[in-house]
Amino acid sequence: MLAKSKAKPSSTRRNTVELLFGDLWEFDPAPELADPKLKESYALFIDGQFAAPRSRKYFDSINPGTEKALASIPMAGKADIDAAFQAADSGYRKYWSKMSGNDRGKYLYRIGRLLQDRSREFAVAESMDGGKPIKESRDFDLPMAAAHFFYYAGWADKLEYALPGANFKPYGPVGQIIPWNFPLLMLAWKIAPALATGNTVVIKPAETTSITALKFAEILQEADLPSGVVNIVSGAGNTGQLIVNHSGANKIAFTGSTEVGKAILRATAGSGKGLTLELGGKAANVVFDDAPIDQAVEGVINGIFFNQGHVCCAGSRLLIQESIAKVFVRKLKHRIASLRVGDPLDKNTDIGAINSREQLQKIERLVEAGVHEGAALFQSSCSLPRRGWYYRPSIFEGVTQSHRIAQEEIFGPVLSILTFRTISEAIEKANNTAYGLSAGVWTDKGSKILKMSAALKAGVVWANTYNKFDPSSPFGGYKESGFGREGGKQGICDYLKVS
Amino acid sequence: MPPVALNKSPLKRLLDEVGPVDQVAIEERVAKFTTRSIKKSSKVWGLNLVVSMLDLTTLEGKDTSGKVESLCRKAIRPDEFVVTPTVAAVCVYPAMVTHARRCLGDAKIKVASVATGFPSGQFPLRTRLQEVKQAVRDGADEIDMVIQRGAFLTGDLQRIQNEIAATAEACGEARLKVILEVSELETYDNIRAASFLAMAVLRPGDFIKTSTGKTSGNATLANNQVILEAIRDFYLETGTPIAIKPAGGIKNSKQALQFLIAVKETLGDAWLSPERYRFGASSLLNDLLMQLRKQQQGVYQAPWKFSDAFSGY
Q: What does the DSSP 8-state code read for residue A141?
A: I
Q: Is A313 a catalytic residue?
A: no
Contacts of A232 (CB under 8 A, 6+ apart): A44, A45, A203, A204, A205, A213, A214, A216, A217
From the list A394, A240, A380, A405, the residue with the least C-alpha distance to A317 is A405
The domain A281-463 having CATH identifier 3.30.428.10: the answer here is: no
Is residue A481 predicted with pLDDT exceeding 60? yes
Contacts of A10 in chain B (CB under 8 A): 239
Q: Which residue has the higher pLDDT, B7 or B131?
A: B131
pLDDT at A463: 97
Contact B178, B134 (CB under 8 A): no
Taking the alpha carbons at both ends of chain B, their separation in whole angstroms is: 58
Residues in B 107-136 with any Cβ partner in A closer than 8 A:
none
pLDDT at A7: 44
pLDDT at A15: 59
Count A/B contacts: CB-CB distance under 8 Å.
127
Q: Is B43 a catalytic residue?
A: no
pLDDT at B304: 81
Contacts of B240 in chain A (CB under 8 A): 5, 8
- ipTM value, please give it: 0.93
Is residue B123 predicted with pLDDT exceeding 90? yes
What pTM does this model have? 0.94
Contact A249, A375 (CB under 8 A): no
Contact B245, B278 (CB under 8 A): yes
Residue B157 forms part of a structural domain: yes
Handedness of CA B278, B281, B282, B283 (dihedral sign): negative
Q: What does the DSSP 8-state code read for residue A323?
A: G
β-bridge partners, B209: B179, B245
Contacts of A204 (CB under 8 A, 6+ apart): A76, A175, A176, A177, A178, A232, A233, A234, A235, A239, A240, A243
Q: Which residue has the higher pLDDT, A418 or A8?
A: A418
CA A235 to chain centroid, in Å, comes to 20
Q: How far apart (Å, rounded) are the C-alpha atoms in residues B53 and B89?
A: 8
**Alpha helices, DSSP H, located in A269-356:** 293-305, 325-337
A30-67 pLDDT per residue, tens: 999 999 999 999 999 999 999 999 999 999 999 999 99
Is residue B229 predicted with pLDDT exceeding 50? yes
Q: Is B206 a catalytic residue?
A: no
Q: What is the mean pLDDT of residues A394-411?
A: 96
pLDDT at B283: 86
CA-nearest residue of chain B to A331?
A: B233
Residue B24 forms part of a structural domain: yes
Residue B311 forms part of a structural domain: no
Residue contact B238–A19, C-beta within 8 A: no
Is residue A9 predicted with pLDDT exceeding 50? no
Q: How far apart (Å, rounded) are the C-alpha atoms in residues A123 and A212?
A: 9
Q: Which residue has the higher pLDDT, A280 or A3?
A: A280
How far apart are the CA of B113 and the nearest CA of chain A, in angstroms? Answer: 27
% chain A with pLDDT above 70: 97
pLDDT at B81: 87
Q: Which of B20, B29, B41 sits opposite A298 (nearest CB)?
A: B29
CA A427 to chain centroid, in Å, comes to 25
Residue contact A295–B21, C-beta within 8 A: yes
* Residue B73 touches chain A, beta carbons under 8 Å: no
Give the H/E segment covering residue A438: strand A438-442
How far apart are the CA of A148 and the nearest CA of chain B, in angstroms? Answer: 22
Q: How far apart (Å, rounded) are the C-alpha atoms in residues B11 and B108?
A: 41
A200-246 pLDDT per residue, tens: 999 999 999 999 999 999 999 999 999 999 999 999 999 999 999 99
Contact B226, B12 (CB under 8 A): no
Taking all residues of chain B, what is their mean pLDDT, rounded to a whole number?
94
From the list B139, B141, B134, the residue with the least C-alpha distance to B112 is B141
Query: Catalytic: which of A278, A397, A409, A486?
Result: A278
Is residue A8 predicted with pLDDT exceeding 70? no
Burial of A499 (C-beta count, 10 Å sphere; 0-12/13-18/19+) = exposed
B71-82 pLDDT per residue, tens: 999 999 999 889
Residue contact A25–B260, C-beta within 8 A: yes
Q: How confident is the model at residue B43 (pLDDT cuts 50, 70, 90)?
A: very high
* Residue B48 touches chain A, beta carbons under 8 Å: no
* Residue B232 touches chain A, beta carbons under 8 Å: yes
Say how many domains are in chain B. Answer: 1
Query: Catalytic: which of A32, A126, A207, A312?
Result: A312
* Residue B13 touches chain A, beta carbons under 8 Å: yes
Contacts of B45 in chain A (CB under 8 A): 25
Domain boundaries defined on chain A: 44-279+478-498, 281-463
**Least confident piece of the model among A324-328, B82-86, B188-192:** B82-86
Q: What is the mean pLDDT of residues A297-303?
A: 98
pLDDT at B306: 82
Q: How far apart (Å, rounded) are the C-alpha atoms in residues A235 and A208?
A: 9
Q: How far apart (Å, rounded) are the C-alpha atoms in residues B112 and B177?
A: 9
Q: How far apart (Å, rounded) are the C-alpha atoms in residues A181 and A308?
A: 9
Contacts of B268 in chain A (CB under 8 A): 19-22
The structural architecture, per CATH, of the domain A44-279+478-498 is 3-Layer(aba) Sandwich (3.40)
pLDDT at A116: 98
What single-letter amino acid sits at B228?
Answer: L
Query: C-alpha distances in angstroms, A283 versus A56, A341, A351, A431, A485?
Result: 42, 23, 20, 9, 17
pLDDT at B92: 96
A138-173 pLDDT per residue, tens: 999 999 999 999 999 999 999 999 999 999 999 999
* Residue B34 touches chain A, beta carbons under 8 Å: no
Q: How confident is the model at residue B2 (pLDDT cuts 50, 70, 90)?
A: low
Contact A75, A234 (CB under 8 A): yes
Residue B81 forms part of a structural domain: yes
CATH number, residue B256: 3.20.20.70
Query: C-alpha distances in angstroms, A73 versus A35, A44, A162?
Result: 19, 9, 39
Instruction: Select from A5, A140, A285, A449 the residue whose CB has the most chain B CBs within 10 Å, as the one to mutate to test that interface.
Output: A5
